[in-house]
Amino acid sequence: MKNAKAGPLLYGFLVAVLAASVFPLYYSFIVASKDNSVLGEKVPPLVPGGNLVENITRVFDTVDFWLAMQNSFVVAATVAISNVVLGTLAGFAFARLRFKGRDALFLVVLGTAMVPTQLGVIPLYMLMSDLDWYGTLQAVIVPALIGSFAVFWMRQACEETVPYELIEAARVDGCSVLRTFWHVGFPAVRPQAAVLGMFTFMTAWNDFFWPLIVLDPNDSPTVQVALSTLASGYYTDYSLMLAGASLAVLPVIAIFVLLSRQIVGGIMQGAVKG
């Protein structure tokens, strides 16, 4: 059976999807490089203006955006690394270790994903207050150190890519459980771990609801809280707000570029059989 070749129609569709995906980001950059008068034009401009540096300067003059970027990076990086490490350990245990109550415990982990986030806000806020963590980054980091999605994702990855035969061979060679995980399990699921790290980093970077509740916007904001400050006031300065948003998206793009090979490999891992 010959492989089907992509025709002009398929390429045209892919180009249209790409353009539709990129255009909102590009138009945000266009507005960020102009003033608010651009929003009243009948024909939306497609060429950047000359006010980008001025708008970026106003962003840093309005809020402490450097501090917000630093706080968001600390939170997102810590949460991403923690979810990758703990999620991979838990996923390996649920997939390839036999212990009493394994399936029941895994169902409990999955059950936590069905609990709405809003349902736990009040007790979690009370706990942060009792720990005297209000206004500190650990109040945002600690509740997100591990999630049910990370455990589920890495369990599926371990089941698909780590055969029992390799585990048994490592045990015969005298490897401990942790050594078996490090030398056999983790190398096999590294692409999926990169995908998990990217998704977790992006989720933590874009989180707005919980940081708004537990952090002081004037003392220890994250990027999304700082952007909400830019959007507040008697009127919305869209050029100012979108200049901040353009800056806020740069770290996520940089992380994707750095991990692109692993991310694409992890996404395509289950698509190719043979």
- The pTM for the full model equals 0.85
Q: Which residues contact 170 (CB under 8 A, 6 or more apart)?
A: 179, 180, 183, 184
For the chain, how many residues are written? 274
What domains appear along the chain, each with residue ranges and CATH number?
A: 1-50 (no CATH), 59-268 (1.10.3720.10)
% pLDDT > 70, the chain: 93
The pLDDT value given to residue 47: 81
The pLDDT value given to residue 2: 54
For 50-61, how does the pLDDT look when each residue is reduced to its tens digit (9 = 90+)? 888 898 999 999
First-last CA distance in the chain: 15
The pLDDT value given to residue 91: 92
The pLDDT value given to residue 271: 46
For 219-254, how does the pLDDT look when each residue is reduced to its tens digit (9 = 90+)? 778 999 998 888 876 777 888 888 998 899 988 888
For 189-225, how does the pLDDT look when each residue is reduced to its tens digit (9 = 90+)? 888 898 899 899 999 999 999 999 998 877 778 999 9
Q: Which two tokens stand for residue 122?
A: 């009040």
The pLDDT value given to residue 50: 82
